[in-house]
Every structure is written in structure tokens, then in C-alpha cells.
């Protein structure tokens, strides 16, 4: 059976990716132009005119879509049951509509940045898979590699090619969700400015924190929730307070777990840096040719590191919002 030449499929992928890139950066509609690059602070400032702010009931009738890449609950609790992504939105009915919209914007902003990192990771992985397939094809013609091995590498290449093409499309999808969160669905943000994030918390500090004072502060300082509790009947009042205690406990525990996850992500990133240096040295000595693979794994480690960091900042902002604090991280 004759298979398509690797050169044909790689050219098709490049052309399709260029089409996706123009789709991502293209502007539609007559909405006001967004700053480029767009900072997190500028994005948060656009929350005040969002349609969701007109009525709290809108959030119940139109649930917020889940982020495509940023899954903080699953990142902090990897051993818990799969498919519990709604835990990343449980806070949204306990804070004011404005705070909830700003938190969603922050979540979408980080999701776009992760989509870009994921595309870079998949792009490097596809390049490595292509080189492996191309070399095996040449060696198969010389009788040095079996056709089964070539077929195996072809499957691996096509799977990574599909993943890379999907991650290219996801760059537009995450931008569209960010635009919707900002109330600017007709104009997609082009470039985002990397935010200057506050320092990472010390591992274990938040895990040991008593959620009781934070619950008391939320009941005293979260004016929107306090008014909602005051207007509720006895049963709803009890349910709101139970939901508040559960959410404060979960978010504070999540912060502690994310601090441990940050240590793990840093150790993996340091290991990948060393592995890349070793591969680069071997490549220069022509003793090995796995430099591309090491670069791909390093990009993967850096993406994981960024995801943990974004989840730390987002979780802290959610916990602050529950306690009536403004959603305004350092930017």
C-alpha cells in the first residue's frame, strides 16, 4: 500500500495553519477596536458594560462556558473524579455580577495565553514526529527499517498533526470566548500582553489556613452576598451560607495544593532545561539528534508551569472576590 509522502501532508498542514492564523487575527463587526497588545487590566476594565450585569438571573439561565485549557480544580485535585469542571465556576453565584464578570475575563485571558503555549508545544512535537517519519521512510527504502515501523510512525505523526491543527483552531476559540466575556464579540483580541503577576504563595501556607475568618470576612465585606442573604427566606439563607463555607474551604485548600503543584512544575521545568542543554551539546557533537524532542518537552514543561501560576492567581482572585475585595491583580 502506497502512503502519501510526508512532504505533502506537512505542506497541507502549514497551509491550513496559515488560514487559521488569518482567521484568528482577522477582525469582524463594527465593535470598538481593542488595544493591541491587550493587557489584563485593560480587559478587566471592559467588564462594566457586559449584558450579564443587568440581572443576576441571567447567569443562571445562561451558564458560563468552561475554559478550553485552564482547569484549576482538576489541576489541584488530579485524583478526583473526571468531568467535574463545573467546580471552576461554583464561585460565580456568590459574588456580585461585576466581580463575576471580571473573574471570567481573567480566566479567559489566561486561557488564550495557554492556547498559544499549547500550539507552540504541538507545533514542535509535530516537527519531531515528521523528522522521525521521514528518516524511517528513507531507511525503509534501504531495507533498514520494517514497513510496520514506518506505519507506526505514520500513525503517531498523523495523531500529533491532528492535535496541532486543533490547537491552532483553539487560538481563535479562546479569543472569541475572551471577546464575549469583555462584551466585544465582534472584535477578537489580536495580541495579549503577558501580565505581571503577584508573587507565588509559599507552599503549605494556604492549606493550613483556617477558612473560618475568611467566611466571617465574606459575610461582613461582600455587600452583594450580604444583601442577597438578607432578602432570602430561612432555607435559602442557610443554603447560601453553606455554599459560601464550602467554596471558601475549597478555594483556600486549592491554593495550598497549587503551591505544591508549582514546586512539581518547577522541578520538571528545571529537568527539561538540563535535558535540552545535554541534547544541544550532543547535537553539536553529532552524537545524537533528539534536540527537537527535548525542545518540545521543555515547551510542555513551561506550559504546565504557566498553567499552575495562572490558576494560583485566579484562585486567589476568586477567594478575594468572595470576601468583597476588588478583582484587580497586579498588571
Q: How far apart are CA 164 and CA 121, in angstroms?
A: 8
Q: How far apart are CA 231 and CA 105, in angstroms?
A: 29
Q: Averaged over 275-286, what is the pLDDT?
A: 64
Secondary structure of residue 203 in the 3-state scheme: coil
Bigger pLDDT: 56 or 133? 133
Which runs of E-coded beta strand occur in the chain? Answer: none
Would the pLDDT of 100 be above 50?
yes
pLDDT in tens, 101-159: 999 999 999 999 999 999 998 998 898 889 889 989 999 999 999 999 999 999 999 99
Q: Averaged over 55-61, what is the pLDDT?
A: 73
pLDDT in tens, 217-241: 999 999 999 999 999 999 999 999 9
Would the pLDDT of 330 be above 60?
no
pLDDT in tens, 164-188: 999 999 999 999 999 999 998 678 9
Residue-by-residue DSSP string for 272-303? HHHHHHHHHHHHHTTS---HHHHHHHHHHHHH
Spell out the domain ranges in the chain. 1-24+104-191, 196-331
Three cell numbers written together for 111: 486561557
pLDDT in tens, 62-73: 888 889 999 898
Bigger pLDDT: 114 or 28? 114
Q: How far apart are CA 64 and CA 50, in angstroms?
A: 13
Integer Rg of the chain from CA: 23
Amino acid at each position: 500500500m502506497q502512503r502519501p509522502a510526508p512532504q505533502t501532508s506537512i505542506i497541507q498542514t502549514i497551509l491550513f495553519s496559515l488560514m487559521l492564523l488569518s482567521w484568528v487575527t482577522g477582525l469582524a463587526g463594527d465593535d470598538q477596536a481593542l488595544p493591541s497588545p491587550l493587557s489584563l487590566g485593560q480587559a478587566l476594565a471592559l467588564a462594566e458594560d457586559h449584558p450579564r450585569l443587568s440581572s443576576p438571573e441571567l447567569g443562571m439561565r445562561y451558564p458560563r462556558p468552561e475554559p478550553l485549557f485552564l482547569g484549576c480544580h482538576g489541576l489541584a485535585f488530579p485524583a478526583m473524579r473526571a468531568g467535574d469542571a463545573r467546580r471552576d465556576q461554583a464561585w460565580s453565584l456568590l459574588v456580585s455580577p461585576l466581580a463575576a464578570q471580571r473573574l471570567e475575563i481573567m480566566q479567559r485571558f489566561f486561557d488564550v495565553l495557554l492556547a498559544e503555549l499549547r500550539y507552540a508545544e504541538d507545533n514542535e512535537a509535530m516537527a519531531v514526529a515528521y523528522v522521525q517519519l521521514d528518516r524511517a521512510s528513507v531507511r525503509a527504502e534501504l531495507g533498514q527499517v520494517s514497513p510496520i515501523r514506518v506505519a507506526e510512525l505514520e500513525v503517531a505523526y498523523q495523531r500529533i498533526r491532528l492535535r496541532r491543527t486543533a490547537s491552532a483552531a483553539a487560538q481563535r476559540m479562546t479569543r472569541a470566548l475572551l471577546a464575549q466575556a469583555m462584551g466585544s464579540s465582534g472584535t477578537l483580541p489580536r495580541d495579549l500582553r503577558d501580565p505581571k503577576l503577584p508573587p507565588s504563595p509559599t507552599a503549605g501556607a494556604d492549606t493550613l489556613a483556617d477558612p473560618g475568618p475568611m467566611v466571617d470576612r465574606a459575610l461582613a465585606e461582600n455587600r452583594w452576598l450580604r444583601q442577597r442573604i438578607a432578602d432570602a427566606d430561612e432555607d435559602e439563607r442557610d443554603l447560601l451560607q453553606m455554599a459560601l463555607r464550602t467554596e471558601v474551604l475549597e478555594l483556600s485548600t486549592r491554593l495550598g495544593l497549587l503551591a505544591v503543584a508549582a514546586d512539581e512544575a518547577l522541578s520538571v521545568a528545571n529537568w527539561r532545561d538540563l535535558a535540552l542543554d545535554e541534547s544541544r551539546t550532543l547535537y553539536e557533537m553529532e552524537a545524537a539528534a533528539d534536540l527537537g524532542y527535548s525542545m518540545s518537552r521543555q515547551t510542555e514543561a513551561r506550559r504546565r508551569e504557566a498553567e499552575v501560576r495562572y490558576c494560583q492567581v485566579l484562585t486567589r482572585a476568586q477567594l478575594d472576590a468572595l470576601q468583597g475585595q476588588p478583582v484587580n491583580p497586579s498588571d
